[in-house]
Structure 1
Amino acid sequence: MVDQQIAGAAGPADPPAQRRPPSALLARAAGGRGPAAWLTVGALPAAIVLWVLALRGARLDRMGDLGLLQVLPPFYWASFALLLAGFLAVLYRPRIPQAWAAAYVVALITVIHATPSVLYPTLRYAWAWKHVAVVDAMLRHDGTVPNAGGLEIYNEWPGFFQLNVLFLRATGLHSALGYASWWPLLTNLLLLGPLLLLYRAITDSRRLVWGGVWLFYSISWVGQDYFAPQAFVFVLFVLLLALVLGRMAEARRAAETAAEGQPASTALTARTPWLGWYAMVVVVLAGIVVSHPLTPVMTISVLAMLCLRRRNRRTVLPVLAAAVGMTFAWDVTVARPYLSQNIGGLIAGLTAAESNVRPPNQLKLGTVAPDQVAVGWLSLGMSGTIGLLALISLIGHRWVRRTGLVAVLFGPLPLLLGNGYGGEMILRAYLFVLPATAFLAATVLLRDGRRPVLHRALAAVAATVLALGMFGNYYSKEALKYFTPQEVEALRLVTTDAPAGTRIVFATGTALPGGEMHYDEDRTRIVLSQLPEEEQRRMLADPLPVLRRELTYPVVAGPSYLVLTRAQIADCRLTGVLPEDTVRRLADLAAGSPEFRAVYTGPDAVVYQYVAPSTDGPTGVAPAGGIENQPQPEERQP
């Protein structure tokens, strides 16, 4: 009887799902029938299958001057092509549920940012290793790290690191190394929510919202999504923009409603109560201020530019006041030591606008790989194209100029002209304007005109070209960002396992997986490529005297090591920081000299201990247990 009642309640108009023909299920899932519906439903799983097959066929030992671009098989690019085709089918069919657009964007993020995490056996990128070392040190010291040396700045902006310490204590994990490899994927997925809030505050057009999101991930090539405070606070920055621009949009709609004679609602009473909204803003600002030195200033600059329009001030001025007050309070208390030591450089940057917008004038005694020169021009061309599309949008769409995106687009300009930020300001400026430029580009590329088929074809071509440019920039330096287990083991033996007072000499300093581990335990790290130019040239002409001096003077209590790795060779070749053969020359010198003893050897890494007696320094002593007796993992040939 009960079964009959349930069947009767369902009624003949609602047959069981298992009896529906496949075409009906497809039509219901994709919002219609026809080729577009089949493409919507079929392209996504097919793309995922091709991506998995591509990962299984990738050969890391083929990585050269173009990084992963030389490793990924055709299946990978076919996967991306299917994702783009399926997404465009979703974008131009309003009846297709928006969940499909979200699924395709998540798949795009996964295909781009999970690929290195799946392929690489160790954490990618030396700076991510450095930040793991900081988290581990703060975990061991339960807060501020003493004897931090050159990493003292992280004690003064510890928000990101302390949040990770809190997570480690709550979960019982011993190190951030276990999840840092997945940080690019995680942070880009977290960014999706604030981006949607931001774009929906600007327009109700589903096509522009999701098209802007797709373009954002297709042109985000600067690589600031690794395990770092910058990635964390950028998510907060976009969330803050969404909250502020959303409130401005509510105020604008309320004013328009009042002008039409309808019941008026102001920004202070619309939807979220003003105090609740302001509390959220202050919490987000606090996370930014305590975690990163640059982003609070960038935030203040954007908010100040938003205040140039009088009608925005009621919403933005309280936020700007909070940002200025919190940043000032933090800088004159916790961050005062860093600012007082670097105030001269900050002031000098205000009068060096021309040099601030150019790449850093780094000493390069070698030759940059030709492929990397081409990639540099590619990034320049891609940035110029995106900027041109943004300007076309601002000129051609009056409604866009009322949204606040102009302030987001030009807000970083004063900082770009006022400080070089170690040569990275132009990259950081590109990152901070990216939410605006992606949306503005979407308004140009995704418009419909008298020839919709032609416009859609052009949009598909433009999206493909921009994405390929992103892949070229994002993946091309993987040879120095990827580390083999042997390289990680070699660094661990001279940092984590070596005694306090150890001296470590490296050829280059930007391709070391864990060189900063236990940086608070009185270890001296010397990078040959960072010596004065005269000393570098002397080292290249006759390495042994320079190595003797750096390995023995000043006197240290522990042993001295020379560490040479595959990634350092790639660093020399790709960046030209030293001649390409420098690492091999140093290795051959140490192998043939009685003053050095190999304590770790392998195809991808070698560690030499300096053992010759010297009147200028102590004789090296091997760590307890004998570093040379440590197991050497099997590894691919470089």
Structure 2
Amino acid sequence: MTDTRVHEPAAPRAGGRPQPAEDRSGADSLFRNAYFLMLSTGVSAVLGLGFWLVAARYYSEEAVGQGSAAIAAMRLLASITATTMIGAVVRFVPRAGRRTARLVWGVYGASSVVVALAAGVFLLTLERWGASYEPLGTPAAGALFVAACVAWALLTLQDGVLTGLRRAAWVPAGNAVFSVGKLVLLAVLASALPVLGIFVSWAVAIAFSTLPLGWLIFRRLIPRQAAADRDAEPPGLRSMGRFLAGDSLGALFSLAMINLLPVMVAVRFGAAENGYFYVAYTVGGTMEFLAINMASSLTAHASHDPRRLADGLRGALRRMTLLLVPAVLVLVVLAPWILTPFSPGYAEHGSTVLRLLALGALPRVVVELYIGVLRVQGRTGVLAVLQGAMCALVLGSATVLFTPAGIAGAGWAVLIGMTLMAAVSAPGLRAALRDTGGVPAGRPAPAPEYGTRWARLNATAGYGPGRPRPPAYDGEGAEKGGEDTVTLFIGHPGYEREALQADTLALIVRPHGPDAARAPADGSAADGPVAADGRAAGPGTDHAPEPDRQGGTVMRPPATPRERSAPEPVPEGTAAPATPDGTAAGRTAGPPAPRASQSSSPAGEPVTDLSALPPVPRGRRGPRAALPAVPLLAALALWGYAVRHTDVSRLDDFGLVTALHPAFWAGLAVLTAGFWHTVRDPRRPGGWAAAYVLGLLVMERATQALLYPTPLYAWAWKHDGVVDHLLTAGGLQTADQVGDMAVYDQWPGFFAAQAALVRLLGVESAAMYMAWWPLVSSLMLLLPLLLVYRTFTEDRRLIWTGVWLFCVANWVGQDYFSPQSVAFALHLGVLAVVLRRFGRSGGTRGRQGQAVWTVVLSVLVVAIVISHQLTPGMLVVSLLALCLVRRHRDRVPVVTTVVVFLAWCLTAALPFLSAALPDMIRSAGDLGGNVATGYGATPTGTGAVTTSWAARLLTATVLLLAVAGVWRQRVLRRRALPLLLLAAAPLPMLVASGYGSEMLFRVLLFMLPGVAFFAAAALVPRVRTPAAGDGPDGRAEGPARGRWRRGAGTGGPLLVLLAATLAFVPSYSGKDRISYFPPAEVALVQRLFDEAPGGSTVVAANRNYPLAYASYGSIGHYWFLEDDRRHVDEVVRDPAATLAADMAGVERPGRAYFLLTRGQFANSEMNGQLTEDQLNRIRDSVAGSPRFRLVAENDAGVVYELRHEDADEPAGEGEGPAGEGEGPAGGAER
């Protein structure tokens, strides 16, 4: 017979009934629930911050204080039941069966009564709680307060109900609707309710979530569960009461520990120390939410079927290890740098606390998961004792350790307390992992009833008939044959869109025997429904019966609307996939086993038992499994050594390239080689490839942040000036107030968010953290990029090689502190949502949830439209390109984007567009001009020319690889056609506009995700998709024959990757001589703006210096190299006189300043404008003129002031207006 090989021990599911219908995703529901709960926490935190920022803008400080007090009181009163009952909800809702609705209504009713009574008592004693609660004293406000308390408790319990129903995907959606609703109401009610508007908006918005989700719960989700588990025995009131008593007490202990620790620090230490601790506690405390959410999901998952507790616990431990260990390592290693943006004091005093809290999160995982186990087991007495001991141990240890360790004593208390509690919890956790569902150790589990056998598999399985035929089948109909029919379901029947979810494979074994007449009248057999001809068709499936196959295996391939690529090659020594004829691919199966008889196997046990098969390892085990870490750690060590020994004080025309220590290049080569060796081995877990990509991003994007003491790029400094202006001006302004810079107030999304972040972090300006923005923005691209790629393939080699090429080919430099960096990430996010959830990609379940995804899509589109001018246009052409493919033809994304874009352009952005429209019309259709301007000024000097050609060759290489990938991987031409169209969609924008000489670079940026994917396809072996890769004859289509096919596994791809990776460095940082401004230059310019009064003008050669737009609302700028060429020639011929004439029009009390810095020298010389000698002559001429006074001078530059002449002296004819040099189109963000 053919053998069956599994990658994990398969646990048979006893009984003849099919898998429960509601179990759609197996163990994955555990992790999906946990991830959705984590997402909900993040959504609530981000939008909650926005709520209070908007409240501070539209309401008085007194109203904000009263509103926040009312909301705090409401949440406290609601937590009386919300916090103490949610554990019981998560525990019992999955097991309530037909009484689920009654249970939920009972919890809601009890909670409402208790909370309403508590709120009433609070209102009756309102005068004792202070003046902040006076607005609640009116009858209407009091009634609203009681209703809000009840509604908030229901909202919290509703999240628990959704978690218990294993539909946590609705939790972040509901919280997002609530958060957006309260934001809208907050602005709408600002004038109508200037005092109570904050509380009313919060209270009313609760209904936006509770009402629709309540309808969904009671009309859709609960009936489905009740129907699926109608035979389940609901829990009794006594058991629920016992559980609630212990769990509620434990929840109170946990809340006390979390909330009292910062209070103890505030009481014991001063305000400064409290601030250091609270920031570290907030950052480090995020780790505990991961563990808490995972434990809640485990409770819901295992409560539905306690037999899954061990598997779920094992998976939760594995996932939490993968999530937490890297995060903890980052916090421990980078603690000072993480806290430095707040101020150097936070880094000095809070780093130890942050490290200790991060380390304490690791044992906290063990404790929280054991708490989840105790909830599943109903041992709430132990749970209460455990949480009470944890609370006492942590708070008691903190009290003792405060004296010797200061605020770090709190961190030590958490680490020590959690470690001890983890040690106490570990034996119980180990016992849960060993639990066999009540079967004594050493005794085999009883054989399941003859019929359906469910097993979690991680590979395809071949089955040969070897089970003896029961006597019931030896009578009538015995002559029909002794073979069995094996049906392989991929995913759960009826939900075929979950195809190739490897942990939901099911083998359904049915003997051919009794006639259809023997089947029950309802059409079901012992193992599920049967087909019309009497043969089993599988549980819940509507597939037509297939012809009998003598002695073979019947495989029912699911019809999935979204094809995925085939699994990676099976390692040597594992079973090859079974083929429809019952043989294993790549080898010949033995002849069918003879018909087994009763006498041949008296015990009646199957010959091949899935649960008894030895597991086949997923990959390498033992020390060899850690081999990928060796080149990764070696590369990072070389990089760290290079960073410490690189001197950037004297950069030449090659920028950072020649300044880097040779160890950097060695580290980059080792990293690339290690990545390629790891990613091409299918036995390596995908986490190693992700680790290498993260290492690449660190080496690429963090090197400059560590080497340079000040942020790079004049444009980044400009955006910092815009953020500073929003902070000081307090809001948006018109062109009459700030001139051409008003364009930033017409697309304020990015800058408003950064202003809010600066206030939140308490830093002086965005310059405190914008040096790290390239790394942050690059990390933001990873998730949407992976989602896009995984839409078309599951081949890890192709996915991660594409991500690697994307990173090394993204040299354009739009990852700096700019709206484009965020808008591009949002653009990829929209494409990921559209590709996976719209059109025919989402299937039936996608259609049912399309309303939620439309809301998500709308939020992303709005964020793009209000933040950037160009990205919405790129998004529209991309979505139109997707409509060319039938399976992605959906009007909703396109219409949503166009409507939002036009609405913004015709309202907020109309002033800018009106002024820029003539230039836009002139550039439209001028392809040659738009492309030519993309090359910018002609670079001069060996270094500038070399780095420019390195960038061009890198881009050309990736484009040629993409063409080769399209030609080589024929299957991708069909199945990844949408991505191919997305790669080509930005090209028409070259005809539309020059976008200030940058359209060519922006087009390359938006093409890069698709180009990198197909470029990777040229480097990896052939790619197959399960349904798409089969030709008409049933054989998989391979790549074109020839050298490409044979060379895919050689060193050629590695050399290509290595060349591209090394070429990235000169392409990306070859112009750092222009981009870097040393501290002396920053200090010089800062002194100028500190001295300059309002109404002054700063004249400079160009805008390439830091703080160029500081105080742009009151200080003008003029860059003479951007003026007419004839005027530039006049400046060169007679610098002092010409510049004095240009500056003479400044009226008092304003002053006119001439600024010349090292950055201006580098920009002018490397871009072929004025040479160093010409700029030196200009500086010497100004220095020798009696009309100028020296203000400041250092090694980085010089500042002169134009002396004021008598009032009756005529001004020079060469006077130029302040702020000249940037037209309407030039004011746009680049």
Q: Does 1:156 align with 2:750?
A: no
1:599 aligns with 2:1191: yes
**1:516 match:** 1109
Asked whether the equivalents of residues 555 and 617 of structure 1 are also in contact (C-alpha less than 8 Å), the reply is no
- Distance (Å, rounded) in 1 between the aligned partners of 2:858 and 2:810: 28
Asked if residue 455 in structure 1 is aligned to residue 1043 in structure 2, the reply is no
What's the CA shift for 1:169? Answer: 2.7
Q: Does 1:389 align with 2:990?
A: no
Structure 1, 282-291 or 578-587: larger mean CA deviation? 578-587
In structure 2, C-alpha distance between the alignment counterparts of 1:413 and 1:307, rounded to whole Å: 17
Q: Do the aligned partners of residues 5 and 355 (structure 1) sit closer, same or farther apart at CA in structure 2, a change above 3 Å counting? A: closer
Deviation at 1:604, TM superposition (A): 1.1
Superimposed CA distance per residue, residues 165-224 of structure 1 (whole angstroms, 9 cap, x where no aligned partner): 222233333321111111101111111111111111121111111111111101110000
Q: Secondary structure at the match of 1:578?
A: coil
Spell out the pairing of 1:603-618 with structure 2 (5 A cutoff).
603-611=1195-1203, 613=1205, 615-616=1209-1210
Aligned partner of 1:258 in structure 2 is: none
Give me the whole-angstrom Cα distance separating, in 2, the residues matched to 1:100 and 1:5.
31
Identity of aligned residues (%): 35
| Cα deviation, residue 617, structure 1 | 5.5
Task: Give the number of the structure with larger relative contact order, counting CA–CA contacts within 8 Å between residues 6 or more apart.
Answer: 1
TM-score, normalised relative to structure 2: 0.45
- Mean Cα displacement is larger for which, 511-520 or 387-396? 387-396
Report 1:200-219 matches (<5 A): 200-219=790-809
Cα deviation 1:75-96 (Å, max 9, x = unaligned): 1111111211221122022222
Does structure 1 conserve the Cα–Cα contact (< 8 Å) formed by 2:812 and 2:1001? yes
Question: d(CA) in 2 for partners of 1:231 and 1:4?
Answer: 45
Alignment-derived partner of residue 1155 in structure 2: 563
- Alignment partner, residue 1167 of structure 2: 575
CA distance in 2, matches of 1:406, 1:4: 51
Hey, what's the Cα distance between the residues in 1 that align with 2:430 and 2:984?
63
Instruction: Give the corresponding residue for 1:627.
Output: none
Contact 1:599 1:607 in 2 (8 A): yes
Instruction: Report the more deviating stretch, 201-210 or 171-180.
Output: 171-180
SS in 2 for 1:60: coil
Q: Is 1:39–1:86's contact at 8 Å kept on the other side of the alignment?
A: no
Amino acid corresponding to residue 1112 of structure 2 in structure 1: Y
Q: Which position in structure 2 is the counterpart of 1:100? A: 688
Alpha-carbon distance between aligned partners in 1 of 2:427 and 2:1189, rounded to the nearest angstrom = 86
Q: Report the counterpart of residue 24 of structure 2 in structure 1.
A: none
Q: 1:115-154, aligned counterparts within 5 Å? A: 115-145=703-733, 147-154=737-744
Match for 1:519: what amino acid? Y
Instruction: Give 3-state SS (helix, strand or coil) of 2:628's partner.
Output: helix
Partner of 1:354: 928
- The 8 Å contact of residues 31 and 97 in structure 1, kept in 2 or not, is answered as no
Distance 1:518 1:8 in 2: 63
Letter matched to residue 516 of structure 1: Y
Q: Does 1:194 align with 2:799?
A: no
What SS does the aligned partner of 2:1172 have? coil
Deviation at 1:587, TM superposition (A): 2.1
When residues 557 and 450 of structure 1 are mapped into structure 2, their CA distance, relative to the original with a 3 A threshold, is: closer
1:499 to 1067, 1071, 1093: 1093
Q: Does 1:168 align with 2:758?
A: yes
Alignment-derived partner of residue 375 in structure 1: 947
Question: What is the rounded CA distance, in whole Å, between the counterparts of 2:765 and 2:1098 in structure 1?
Answer: 23
Instruction: Mark the CA change 1:247 to 1:595 in structure 2 (over 3 Å): closer, same or farther.
Output: same
The residue identity in structure 2 corresponding to 1:408 is L
Verify: 1:274 aligned to 2:850, yes or no.
Answer: yes
Aligned to 2:863: 287
Q: Match for residue 470 of structure 2?
A: none
- Of 395, 400, 417 in structure 1, the residue corresponding to residue 972 of structure 2 is 400
Q: Which among 462, 465, 478 is matched to residue 1059 of structure 2? A: 465
Quote the offset at 1:573 in angstroms.
1.8
Partner of 2:1125: 533
RMSD between aligned residues: 2.6
The letter for the 2-side match of 1:310 is: R
Cα offset for 1:74?
Answer: 0.6
Displacement of 1:606? 1.2
Q: Does 1:308 align with 2:884?
A: yes
Which structure 1 residue ranges, 5 or more long, are not aligned?
12-27, 255-264, 619-638
Per-residue displacement from partner, 1:310-342 (whole Å, max 9, x unpaired)?
33213xx10000000000000000000011111
Q: Which amino acid aligns with 1:397?
A: Q
197-206 or 239-248, which deviates more: 239-248
Deviation of residue 297 (structure 1)?
Answer: 0.6
1:265-306 CA-partner distances (Å, limit 9, x unpaired): 46414xxx1111111111111111110010001100111111
- 2:882 maps to a residue whose letter is L
Single out whichever of 342-351 and 63-72 deviates more from structure 2. 342-351
Q: Secondary structure at the match of 1:333?
A: coil
Conserved? CA contact 1:123–1:177, under 8 Å = yes
- Higher mean alpha-carbon deviation, 367-376 vs 71-80, is at 367-376
Q: Using a 3 Å threshold, how does the CA distance of structure 1 residues 8 and 572 change in structure 2: closer, same or farther? A: closer
Cα shift at 1:361: 8.1
1:75–1:5 distance in 2 versus 1, CA, 3 Å: closer
Q: Which residue, out of 444, 457, 465, partners 2:1018?
A: 444
Amino acid of the structure 2 residue aligned with 1:167: L
| Match status 1:235 vs 2:825 | yes
Q: Which runs of 4+ in 1 moved over 6 A?
A: 2-8, 361-364, 449-454
Deviates more, 1:389-398 or 1:437-446: 389-398
Q: CA deviation at 1:391?
A: 2.2
Distance (Å, rounded) in 1 between the aligned partners of 2:723 and 2:754: 7
1:78-117 pair list within 5 angstroms: 78-117=666-705
Structure-1 separation of matches of 2:690 and 2:1016: 17
Give the distance between the partners of 1:545 and 1:589, measured in 2 at CA: 9
Please, which of 982, 985, 1001 is the counterpart of residue 411 of structure 1?
A: 985
Matched residues, number: 580
The one of 638, 646, 650 equivalent to 1:50 is: 638
CA apart distance, 1:374: 2.8
Question: Which range is displaced more, 380-389 or 524-533?
Answer: 380-389
Aligned residue identity for 1:409: A
In 1: Cα distance, 2:710 partner to 2:1084 partner: 13
- Contact preservation (8 Å) 1:101, 1:210: yes
Distance 1:59 1:30, change over 3 A: farther
Deviation at 1:133, TM superposition (A): 0.5
Q: Are positions 1:337 and 2:911 aligned together?
A: yes
Per-residue Cα deviation, 1:462-489 (whole angstroms, up to 9, x for no partner): 0111122221110110001001111111
Query: Unpaired segments of 5 or more residues in structure 2?
Result: 1-423, 435-616, 1023-1042, 1213-1230
> How many angstroms does 1:415 deviate by?
1.0
Deviation larger for 210-219 or 546-555: 546-555
How far 1:527 moved relative to its partner?
Answer: 0.7
Corresponding position of 1:424: 998
Contact 1:594 1:612 in 2 (8 A): no
User: What is the deviation of 1:492?
Assistant: 1.3
Distance 2:816 2:888 in 1: 34
Question: How far apart are residue 589 of structure 1 and its match?
Answer: 1.9
Distance in 2, Cα, partners of 1:360 & 1:185: 25
Query: Residues 598 and 30 of structure 1: is their aligned pair in 2 closer, same or farther, counting only changes over 3 Å?
Result: farther
- Asked if the contact 1:51–1:111 (Cα under 8 Å) also holds between the matched residues in 2, the reply is yes
Q: CA deviation at 1:592?
A: 2.6
1:363 is displaced (CA, Å) by: 7.2
Contact 1:47–1:78 (8 Å) recurs in 2? yes
